Structure 1
């Protein structure tokens, strides 16, 4: 069994000890935070725990095949009494700001807390911080926790965790993929996850309008910084006209990484009145370093941020900062 050190043992002991778990996903929940959280939720139910699961934003319909999907509750804040006597479990959430608005208050009110994550910029805000930046997904850590827990992994839990694993490491294509990623996949396949079924659920569901939306973005692709950067954008009106959700854009920015010679890909999308930036990168560049310029964060190869100001101004800022970073800010880019 892979060990993540003392924090792994502490997290496991706390999960076993506490009779009540409150599980928190990050804002705009993706496959990793949801798959990992629902797997833990299912384990808790099987073990007779009192379990609840929350996110600031509603769950994307694409993950509706997860067991207990309808039991995730959306909330901006939680009353402190909701976590009294409970173990608070934050999943795949690097900072307090990415969780419920009153997470600091909840951390004081709960009986204990565990932060399970794989982001290198995690703020280590819980009593126990099980953070493994080398993991390709938080699902790797949760898979090992559930394996060590000793209650087995059901087929439904395996499907949720395999979804979490593959959506975060690009179906094992990203450079975060490791031997451990494949070992965890073996555990989940043995437990009953069916990759072809999961891939159909996640990827084979695009509407014609969303396909045309992707095409609109691709037609305005800009290459700069000696063709090492690729950038495109989508306005809110375009996204609304396509009846697209934030989840409909998952994977779009990765298309730019298919261009020969591109090392940094950027997508700016106007969603919910906010300018949301998604960045992907290859060595020697860091997506996290770029998004940090806008107060964001994430992984070296994949990160995000919210860019202040009007949309046209945000486009100009992103282009300027990305070019500056590639040409000047990164020594290898000089």
Structure 2
């Protein structure tokens, strides 16, 4: 089902047109999809003369500083309820209210209305209207459809942000989430002025020598187990900090493990800000989402993650043990 065929699509479109004030939310540790989609929607609101705000719990990675109105991102862990009292609260690419502002339940109760625009299959449907399209390879596909249907066109800056969101979430059309609709979305954005070569330079040709060496360190720790079906590597917090690496600097690193012949499940554990962040990738018949759910996480069928509290060494051992068990038994009820 495409976004346009979803019965909730028209409802979200009507709400965007009806409300004069929008508060647009991104998720924590923001990636290209949540930011590109949110900034494109924010830009439309500005063009339409709406009172708009774009908010994220964490700062904007420098990679995405070329997005329209990038300097206007409001970075805060919580927002006074009074600021959303008369607004439409729009959550973009957020699968659960736990992944955005700390006082999200209060904001949902205080806002005039709310919409949840996302493509995660495990979305918790926390808003008044939940436009969730799991078949979309990126939330950018849904936002592109909304901007097209809104009837005011898509500017070159919006197209660049949305194209970035699209290709960073579907791996430049390499992931199995890519569909006919994904390529149709790309066509619309190219026609609106997105320039793939320039965008690729901005998001992929900016690695420092420190970060390159950090990638090399992780790769040097690659461990194969579960009969060669699983691959794992890891980085400690002091190593990440020493390379001046933000969250975006490690994007794509885990995909290197999936290039190993025979690997079906890839695991990357990174220590950051007192937490252990687990990233999981998978190929059929295994589900990254199912494995991540064992640690309270979630995501897509073949790309998921979790934040795990506790000591790093114990967490690393637990991740390996659970992955071995998952591959052996193939379901979350296995003991």
Q: Secondary structure at the match of 2:145?
A: helix
Q: Distance in 2 between matches of 1:116 and 1:269?
A: 28
1:304 aligns with 2:323: no
Q: Distance in 2 between matches of 1:307 and 1:315?
A: 10
Q: Cα RMSD between the aligned structures?
A: 1.2
Cα pair 1:236 1:270 within 8 Å, conserved: yes
1:192-271 aligned within 5 A: 192-271=193-272
Task: Quote the residue 1:101 is aligned against.
Answer: 102
Q: Secondary structure at the match of 2:172?
A: coil
1:179 aligns with 2:180: yes
1:278-293 aligned within 5 A: 278-293=279-294
Q: Secondary structure at the match of 1:312?
A: helix
1:133-172 aligned within 5 A: 133-172=134-173
Shift of 1:3: 1.8
| CA offset digits 1:213-233 (Å, max 9, x no partner) | 100100110001110100000
Aligned residues: 332
| CA offset digits 1:247-300 (Å, max 9, x no partner) | 110000000000001011110000111100001111110000010000000000
Shift of 1:329: 3.1
| CA offset digits 1:297-319 (Å, max 9, x no partner) | 00001001012210001110110
Shift of 1:183: 0.2
Q: Secondary structure at the match of 1:3?
A: helix
1:110 aligns with 2:111: yes
Task: Quote the residue 2:88 is aligned against.
Answer: 87
Shift of 1:89: 0.2
- Change beyond 3 A, Cα 1:76–1:2: closer
Q: Distance in 2 between matches of 1:26 and 1:80?
A: 18
Task: Quote the residue 1:13 is aligned against.
Answer: 14
Runs of 5+ unmatched residues, structure 1: none
Runs of 5+ unmatched residues, structure 2: none
| CA offset digits 1:164-196 (Å, max 9, x no partner) | 000000000000000000000000000000000
Q: Distance in 2 between matches of 1:132 and 1:5?
A: 8
Given the two structures, how large is their TM-score scaled by the length of structure 1? 0.98
Q: Secondary structure at the match of 1:48?
A: coil
Given the two structures, how large is their TM-score scaled by the length of structure 2? 0.98
Cα pair 2:3 2:142 within 8 Å, conserved: no
Q: Distance in 1 between matches of 2:294 and 2:309?
A: 12
Task: Quote the residue 1:22 is aligned against.
Answer: 23
1:66 aligns with 2:64: no
Cα pair 1:286 1:300 within 8 Å, conserved: yes
Cα pair 1:137 1:169 within 8 Å, conserved: yes
Shift of 1:4: 3.6
Cα pair 2:57 2:101 within 8 Å, conserved: yes
Shift of 1:330: 3.7
Query: Following superposition, which runs of at least 4 residues in structure 1 exceed 6 angstroms of deviation?
Result: none
